[in-house]
Chains A and B, each alone.
Chain A
Amino acid sequence: MSAALPSPRAGDGPVSEAVQLAGVGKTFRGRTDVTALADIDLAIEAGEFVTFIGPSGCGKSTLLRLIADLIEPTAGTVTVNGKSARQARLDQDYGIAFQQAGLMEWRTVARNVELPLELRGWDRARRRTRARELLELVGLPDFVDSWPIELSGGMQQRVAIARALATGPKLLLMDEPFGALDEMTRERLQAELTRIARESGATVVFVTHSIPEAVYLSDRVVVLSARPGRVTEIVPVPLGDRTDDTREAPEFYAKVTEVREALRGRTGRATVPAAEER
């Protein structure tokens, strides 16, 4: 089950691992220590779309933050693009998006997208052009000079995704970026994301608690157990390029069922495949 799937970009040269987790654990110290993650061993190939799924509090967001070096592991090592997670962060090797858009309300939409470019010292004209391109990509070409508060939640989230893509990172880290959106917007953005990932060849590490979302998006779904989070199963999802029809294909439902059963630890009764979770 957990056999590595061949990397979609395996033909591009030497297969490189975008993310390598070796014996990673995280314990939050406090009045009572909380072990969020334990013994995580995982290799994510370049160009792969991998989703972490698990019950609330299983540490899937923590795992993403460890890769992003926003927090440090208490055990094991995290390697990103062949270097330490710290170095990868300092080199700005990844783009990141969170559950909240987290736009800066004092910057126009375009200047929010430009922020990572500005910090890298791009000149104004180049930043501007790039921001326009990206806003076009996420379907917001008419909102370049709008203020974030003038946008709906879904539109703000697209801006956040454009911002994550701004530097053209080879690694995208996404922590439930569609979690707060309505179902329609969510499905549209999922489709856009798979397209963007395919076209850019970026590696995507995605966190969600929606089973259909995980199955629709991913090459592999990494199922985590409840606290302390451990990898209980890795479900490969070889469904090919995703289209709207993918969501209605029998293989899609089969995978949804497989992930659901993996989440139940394979102890649950056989279940009727359901189209959605939560």
Chain B
Amino acid sequence: MTGRAARIGIPIAVGVLFLAGWQALVVGNDIKPYLLPKPSAIWEQVVHNREDILTTARVTGTNALVGLLAGAILGILVALVAARFRVVDSMLVPLAAAVNAMPIIALAPIFNTMFSTTSSVPRRLVVALVVFFPLFINALRGLRQVAPIHRELMDSYAAGGWTFARTVRIPGALPFVFTGLRLGAALAVIAAVVAEYFGGLQNGLGTRITSAASNTAYPRAWAYVAAACALGLLFYLVATALERIAMPWHKPR
């Protein structure tokens, strides 16, 4: 019980201290709002715009979720194929590494032109691409990592390829897949928000941040940034909860 209290209480205490310090810093040094607004001013904006924040967060959240699911499913499927067929593996991994090295977010304006600017598809596509790589790489690493003793044991049972995959390879890869999913969940929200900076529909958190910033309404811009943070945290927490449910044997460190 004290462990749980500490686990939840300490981060909250640190957060409160951080905000208090921020407030004191801004007030004490008379820092101008365009440099750094006070947390209290940001909070006022959060309250003032709460309805719009919820609406836009829902839009951005949906984009992030759809992209995350598509990217994660694709990443896992391709990893399964790559783990099964060595040829695919040797073709895909260098390609994946090369594609991963380029800033995927930079594709957003191109996708906007490819599809239409009144569509959510370009944003979801960016998210899916960003999410694909951590899932693919982690799932593949997990699928390849089989304890020699499990292989010998399954050989002694004369187990075939599919049985081996089902009983050893796939469950053994789950911790890696969920590591990828946690990374992917956080990245999905970042990608969904940033993808909105490149034009297109004016309906998400990212578009509100750019428009508030260009109108020098800094506390309002920060209010939407805070909402984006909260959305990212929500995604991360859901991914962590799923991990616990899917792997009851896996005790978090």
Binding site for B on A (CB under 8 A): 65, 68, 70, 89-92, 94, 96, 98, 100, 102, 104-108, 115-116, 119, 147-149
Q: Is B44's CB within 8 Å of the partner chain A?
A: no
The chain A residue with its CB closest to the CB of B160 is A119
B249 contacts which chain A residues (CB < 8 A)? 105-108, 147-149
Q: Is B150's CB within 8 Å of the partner chain A?
A: yes
Majority secondary structure, B binding face: helix
Q: How many A-B residue pairs have CB under 8 A?
A: 53
**When the two chains form their complex, are residues B152 and A70 in contact, meaning their CB atoms are under 8 A apart?**
yes
Q: Pick the residue among A98, A104, A107, A115 that contacts B152 (CB under 8 A).
A: A98
Majority secondary structure, A binding face: loop
Q: Is B233's CB within 8 Å of the partner chain A?
A: no
**When the two chains form their complex, are residues B159 and A102 in contact, meaning their CB atoms are under 8 A apart?**
no
The chain A residue with its CB closest to the CB of B171 is A106
Q: Is B168's CB within 8 Å of the partner chain A?
A: yes
Q: Is B95's CB within 8 Å of the partner chain A?
A: no
**When the two chains form their complex, are residues A70 and B172 in contact, meaning their CB atoms are under 8 A apart?**
no
Q: What distance in Å separates the Cβ of B85 from its nearest Cβ neighbour in chain A?
A: 24
How far does the alpha carbon of A267 sit from the alpha carbon of B147 in the complex, in Å? 42
Q: What distance in Å separates the Cβ of A92 from its nearest Cβ neighbour in chain B?
A: 6
A149 contacts which chain B residues (CB < 8 A)? 249, 251
How far does the alpha carbon of A65 sit from the alpha carbon of B159 in the complex, in Å? 17
**When the two chains form their complex, are residues A98 and B157 in contact, meaning their CB atoms are under 8 A apart?**
no
B250 contacts which chain A residues (CB < 8 A)? 105
Q: What distance in Å separates the Cβ of A171 from its nearest Cβ neighbour in chain B?
A: 11
Q: For chain B, which range describes its interface: under 10, 10 to 19, 20 to 34, or 35 or more residues? A: 20 to 34
**When the two chains form their complex, are residues A89 and B168 in contact, meaning their CB atoms are under 8 A apart?**
no
B172 contacts which chain A residues (CB < 8 A)? 104, 106
Q: Is B88's CB within 8 Å of the partner chain A?
A: no
How far does the alpha carbon of A145 sit from the alpha carbon of B44 in the complex, in Å? 52
**When the two chains form their complex, are residues A102 and B149 in contact, meaning their CB atoms are under 8 A apart?**
yes
**When the two chains form their complex, are residues B155 and A147 in contact, meaning their CB atoms are under 8 A apart?**
no
Q: What distance in Å separates the Cβ of B137 from its nearest Cβ neighbour in chain A?
A: 21
**When the two chains form their complex, are residues B248 and A98 in contact, meaning their CB atoms are under 8 A apart?**
no
Q: What distance in Å separates the Cβ of B147 from its nearest Cβ neighbour in chain A?
A: 7
Interface centre among A94, A100, A102, A147, by most B CB within 10 Å?
A102
How far does the alpha carbon of A190 sit from the alpha carbon of B251 in the complex, in Å? 32
Q: Is B163's CB within 8 Å of the partner chain A?
A: yes
How far does the alpha carbon of A106 sit from the alpha carbon of B146 in the complex, in Å? 13
How far does the alpha carbon of A116 sit from the alpha carbon of B248 in the complex, in Å? 22
**When the two chains form their complex, are residues B159 and A98 in contact, meaning their CB atoms are under 8 A apart?**
no
A115 contacts which chain B residues (CB < 8 A)? 157, 167
Q: Is B241's CB within 8 Å of the partner chain A?
A: no
Q: Pick the residue among A90, A102, A107 that contacts B158 (CB under 8 A).
A: A90
**When the two chains form their complex, are residues A147 and B159 in contact, meaning their CB atoms are under 8 A apart?**
no
Q: What distance in Å separates the Cβ of B87 from its nearest Cβ neighbour in chain A?
A: 26
